[in-house]
Structure 1
Amino acid sequence: MDALRDRREQQTAERDACGAEWLESGYVFTTAVGSPVDPRNLNRHWCATRKRVGLDEYRFHDLRHSFVSLLLDLGVAPHIVREIAGHSDLQVTLGVYAHASTEEKRKALTQLSKLFE
């Protein structure tokens, strides 16, 4: 709620600064002049950034994949990762993003071998 209140204050300041130029869209997250944010803006920003830092071969979606995979590798409960990622089904989270790392495999086999000691 605090973040939304802060956003409302920011948007009010933007509206006041624009005056008659403000485009009332009814959206919470808009451009500085009130128009809806064009999803292609994010892609354009990412393309410029990745080129500048030498990551030309990476798509923006690759960041999402890495983020979700890292959370799972860190041991975050899959149902929590599912909620953060916005997946409607846990099977999407586990089926697409849960890749067993070499370390996870080694740990599982070590646990199994302890069972037979």
Structure 2
Amino acid sequence: MWADTGYVFTTPTGQPLNPRTDYTNWKVLLDRAGVAERRLHDARHTAATFLLLLGVTERTVMSVMGWSSTAMAVRYQHVVAAVRRDVAVQVGGLLWRPPASPTPEREPGP
């Protein structure tokens, strides 16, 4: 019953996927999860932002998201309050680090 159509993503019999399949599956998933109506495309923004929150390297994000340009990160990754807070804490740690305690002087040896 398999039809070799040359597509990478197919139905169980090798036929091309209907473009509405992802959309329909997304709506079912939202309904089952009890989540309010959201656009499927918004999930890409969420995924990209989560990768930013996790501190995943830009090159890895590009691979996971299927981007060929770093400019896509600007479009999809949203710098949320948690990211800004983490940066502020790190900068504060550099600026306001307590002074290092002096090294004890060693007694002269024999």
Structure 2 length-normalised TM:
0.69
Say which SS state the counterpart of residue 60 (structure 1) adopts. coil
Shift in Å at residue 75 of structure 1? Answer: 0.4
Runs (5+) with no aligned partner, structure 2: 97-110
Contact 2:49 2:79 in 1 (8 A): no
Asked which structure has the greater RCO (Cα within 8 Å, sep 6+), the reply is 2
Paired with 2:66 and 2:41, the residues of 1 have a C-alpha distance of 14
Greater share of helix = 1
Name the CA shift for 1:35/1:70 in 2 (closer, same or farther; >3 Å). Answer: same
The one of 78, 81, 87 equivalent to 1:102 is: 81
**Greater C-alpha Rg:** 2
Contact 2:48 2:65 in 1 (8 A): yes
Root mean square deviation, CA, Å = 2.2
**Aligned pairs, how many?**
96
TM-score by length of 1: 0.66
Q: 2:21 aligns with which of 15, 31, 41?
A: 41
Percent identical among aligned pairs is 34
Counterparts of 2:88 and 2:65 in 1: how far apart (Å)?
A: 30
What does residue range 17-28 of structure 1 map to in structure 2 within 5 Å?
Answer: 18=1, 22-28=2-8
